[in-house]
Amino acid sequence: MSAKAFDAIVIGAGQAGTPLAGRLNAAGMSVALIERKLVGGTCVNTGCIPTKTMVASAYAAHLARRAADYGVTVSGPVGVDYKAIKARKDKVSGASRTGLETWIAGMEKCSLYRGHARFESAETVRVGDELLTAPKIFLNTGGRASVPDLPGVHDIPYLTNSSMMDLDVLPGHLVVVGGSYISLEFAQMFRRFGSEVTVIEKAPRLTGREDEDTSAAIRSILENEGIAVHVGADEIAFAREGNGIAVTFSAGKVPAVGSHVLLALGRVPNTDDLGLDKAGVAVDQRGFIVVDDQLRTNVPGIWAMGDCNGKGAFTHTSYNDYEIVAANLLDNDPRKVSDRIEAYALYIDPPLGRCGMTEAAVKKSGRRALVGQRPMTRVGRAVEKGETQGFMKILADADTGEILGCSVLGPGGDEAIHCVLDLMYAKAPISTLARAMHIHPNVSELLPTIAQELKPLT
């Protein structure tokens, strides 16, 4: 069978692959875009869009239950219609996916192939019975939930972040195994929907990549809503118990018996079934595709973007990967992965916005630093909203004034963080933030105040 020739092949219609196909097509190239499941990838179908839609429903329920705190009367208990919540989520997610599909269909030289792509050589890819070839191939194959081989795990009907999106009944008791970002968002969300929730984490604390004070504050937020949290839970095992599922662990004298179990124990890249060996593409010991600072693999003419390259695990890092590849290929703009500043959010309520270095990382670096911190109880906007959990923290270099990092755990933290992030990209010193005039009343108006109150980090 002769191969059908294209100028470029893009494997994976996720948050890097789809816009790149659009840019290449606009530049006059013929493009084969291959997707084995759903256009839009994780973000559109099982990640950001559907989960944050559900987070919004959970917040509405939570706020309704607190109506009396604001002098608002609600007659009768607040109910939750989980089927309606799921339907809303499906509608929002589906509209996003349909929009992408419509956009792709309108591209003059882009052919969408639905199926599982496998390399047959460095320039040839098979999709079902179709053989495609191109001098440029871009991988955007994403990742999936990791399912460690824990005792009894394959004897129970466990859920992952993806299968949670298909759940059409509200769990009576959701046991969440894992204490990081995805797991905690689901934990709080389902607690607010009315489920009993237990979180079991192997590490000594939740969100281990955060500073200890941030982890402690996050745990307090969750426990204040009635979520049971167990940390230091080693020797985790599973077994059926009647109509439920028992989760045993070293830190618990009594097993947690839930109606449903969510495994949120990290992600693995979708690289094990692409035939990368036939193309000669190198992967690291965890299966991530090895790339350079401009996302080129070791094989000329092959690039890797998004979760499959291990350079980031977020929609925004995937999209930025697309921007880097497009800038280098089409704009004569030598953008690099190393130019970007680490930034992300944890979408519990209140959310955590983070950018740059943590306090622990700054201390480890050995540089002289300054730190400023203020609890949300001293932030007027938070008090007015009746949402005073959390705090803000800014770190700066004591010698140069360089802003090193920031954490905003509180109302609007996921938005307020960009005040600092943009200054870091502009390479503006902390004095620029200190002299800025922000709008009152707002959470971010306290960032300049904190910048004026920095003290030596000890």
Which residues does the annotation mark as catalytic?
440
DSSP 207-276: STTS-HHHHHHHHHHHHTTT-EEE-S--S-EEEEETTEEEEE-TT-SS-EEESEEEE---EEES-TTS-H
Point out which residues pair with 138 in neighbouring strands: 10, 303
322 and 20 Cβ atoms separated by less than 8 Å = yes
Please state, in angstroms and as integers, the Cα–Cα distance from residue 425 to each residue in 318, 356, 398, 414, 436, following that order: 18, 10, 19, 17, 16
Amino acid present at 318? S
Amino acid present at 139? L
Three-class SS of residue 384?
helix
Who's near 384: CB < 8 A, 6+ residues apart?
441
Please state, in angstroms and as integers, the Cα–Cα distance from residue 402 to each residue in 148, 310, 357, following that order: 41, 28, 12
CA-angle at 429, arms to 423 and 432, nearest 5°: 75
CA–CA distance, 22 with 109 (Å, rounded to integer) = 10
Question: Which two three-digit tokens encode residue 200?
Answer: 């079991």
Query: What pairing do the DSSP bridges indicate for beta strands 260-263 and 8-11?
Result: unpaired
CA proximity to 413, closest of 443, 453, 448, 371: 443
CA–CA distance, 317 with 309 (Å, rounded to integer) = 11
CA–CA distance, 137 with 124 (Å, rounded to integer) = 9
CA–CA distance, 227 with 399 (Å, rounded to integer) = 43
Please state, in angstroms and as integers, the Cα–Cα distance from residue 441 to each residue in 146, 385, 413, 437, 445, following that order: 43, 11, 15, 12, 7
Question: Which two three-digit tokens encode residue 319?
Answer: 């999209």
